[in-house]
A and B are shown apart, each in its own frame.
Chain A
């Protein structure tokens, strides 16, 4: 049987500890814990990787399954690229569509990891965006009151 690897698409982390009974045979799930498995649309360049949405216990997971050997090769290639890009600028993008209600930084500001950058309001709630790493603000791409869509660049940290 082919060796398969399951990866959490949200974190990129491989899941090594799978419940043994889950492989191959059906397992009678307890009430409310029957997994819902839905094939998801593959992302760009996802050749060979099969994406799933799995909901179990009410929790939604975005997972993908691929041949384990392929996964290892791909991971080595990605690690090399990440090392090259490490010193490059980091774009902070909108994680939710909404309206910018506050901006706490300006170009040139030094920021520390976890520092508040700006807040986006959606569905009656304010969502704070924080710096993913230390650095200097290269650019603030939005202003207060502006409506942003999911994935829009907000701040660039150098």
Chain B
């Protein structure tokens, strides 16, 4: 078959304009940094932040659905109904089809992807701002590579979020992982960081291998790698079940590695602990959003017919993660390590929402279940950014502030930031009327609605165990004498954003409804 006979349609680039914009800007930033010699990298930092804001603008302006949501959140629903059509007309945004495919169906643009991407940019923006003073204090980290690699990692996550092809998912994942390995090792003179990078790299490569092996089996069984195509062939029952199950097992193992759930969690504590805190902050927040997206793409969009099979696997992963994550976190003395185990348990909790989508072949609960997971992962990213940001806030040149003891008596040093940290901890623990409580609550109600009462009870039990170590930090901050009284030396913008982050955790707890309905609405329009 020659090219002329292939009936190839030239791809429409406009749905992917956000990716193209980000890539172009990342290359420009690399070049600018090479030729502007300056120690503090203020220009590189500013350009990175501008790029993230610009990418967000491009994403909003290419998705009519997202545009109306954003205007509704900022100005109210009436303004949205009024303004959206006019902006749509000015920028010539395509409406009509809810889900757009391009690049020969390798790329999908839908509302879920747009919402997750917008959250992603926001998270990375906050991460960069929090890391700024930490990076400045450490000459090894103060390189342009910290910013450019972050942008490439962001691009990888965007590719993952809007992938409609197993190959695209894999390439996005590799782009993200390669950037992260290098970022962890960026502080070359630190032995722990190098060791963490080594472990992360070896285990990450293994996980990618598992994922690829699973994908190849799925290809062997269905004859296509395109996710919608796989779903179609499965509906028609044209696939060999044995091979599919084998492929599915490898696929789920690979995802579990990337999410960091038990028994594929070994790398999480070492990497969180060993990496420079600024990089830990990055790893602990944004990639969780992308991991959630690929779970939805692969398992829900592609393999929903096999839901009975993968749900059982996810239940095992989820219960084990909640148990081991929460129990092991109690024994930690290092805050980053403790939060690593807490991340394992949180990802386990997030998976709970995904296991209850299809009950006995009935997909009535799917929307409710998946949107509760999406709400969970978004709010987890928000809280996680705040907690690791607090470590960065207290750190200064030559002092990491990542031991639990470093938080002793924080109330005496700064009552306001002790209160912000307390809000974060309450939210992580799931204390009522913080956002973490509603995240847990919505997942649990999805689990109960699907009839898995025992699973809900187990989740509550392990969360109660988890509450112990979160509340221990509150106790350290308020009831123990401080070790040193050095005042907090963070720049003003970081303090401001940190306060806003704390308030967001509290306010979203009081008004969770808007975000919840955005999650539900975007999934409704995308699945």
B is a partner of A: no
Residues of A in contact with B (beta carbons under 8 Å apart): none
